[in-house]
Amino acid sequence: MAVFVDTNVFIYAIDPSDQRKQSLARAWLTHLWAARTGRTSTQVLSEYLNVVPRKFRPGLSFEQAWADAEHLLAWNPRPLDAAVLERARRIARAHPIAWYDATIVAAAQLEGCATLLSEDFPDGTAFGSMIVRSPFTLAVHEAEVTYASTETLGRPAPPRRGRPARRDAA
């Protein structure tokens, strides 16, 4: 099953400040490359190119960030096109999320992804049959079990109803 990767996963994969998150992000990307199931969008790559040269001190140069993005062109990233914008409009009307997040969800859905790997949404949030999972709470081997059980049933997991639970700051 295809897995859509959001910008933050690519960033954590190169971020030395959190070794745990870096290791988990790298494990996901290694798995997705090997399985050939990774998906992303041109919007994600643009965000990566915007953030990475400014985030780290010393940072990656734009040319180094471009080399990373160019490598990911092999995933045939979903363009930000009319189909994505129309789907994002419907998503933004139905869910209380930011426009840029709605375009990420739309691109992932249009790519036929069962999972959107991101930490920008509450873990487990459902958008139709697509589930958002954090790469830092879902291990690669757990995702394979989930995919296998969904395929065995012959139907996708039912969508969750209502808004995601609110997480109040302690």
The class that CATH gives domain 3-153 is alpha beta
- pLDDT the model gives residue 143: 64
pLDDT single digits (tens) 2-32: 999 999 999 999 998 899 999 999 999 999 9
The domains of the chain are located at 3-153
Phi, psi of 128 (to 5 degrees): 65, -130
Whole-angstrom distance, CA of residue 113 vs CA of residue 157: 13
Q: Taking residues 49-57, what's their average pLDDT?
A: 88
Residue 106 in tokens: 């739309």
Least confident of 41-45, 113-117, 166-170: 166-170
Over residues 82-122, the pLDDT tens digits come to: 999 999 999 999 999 999 999 999 999 999 999 999 999 99
Is the pLDDT at 159 greater than 50? The verdict is no
At 170, is the pLDDT very low, low, confident or very high (cuts 50, 70, 90)? very low
**Average confidence score pLDDT of the chain:** 86
The amino acid that residue 152 corresponds to is T
pLDDT above 70 for 41: yes
Say whether pTM exceeds 0.85: no
Exposure letters 94-107 (e unless 16+ CB within 10 A, then b): ebebeeebbbbbbb
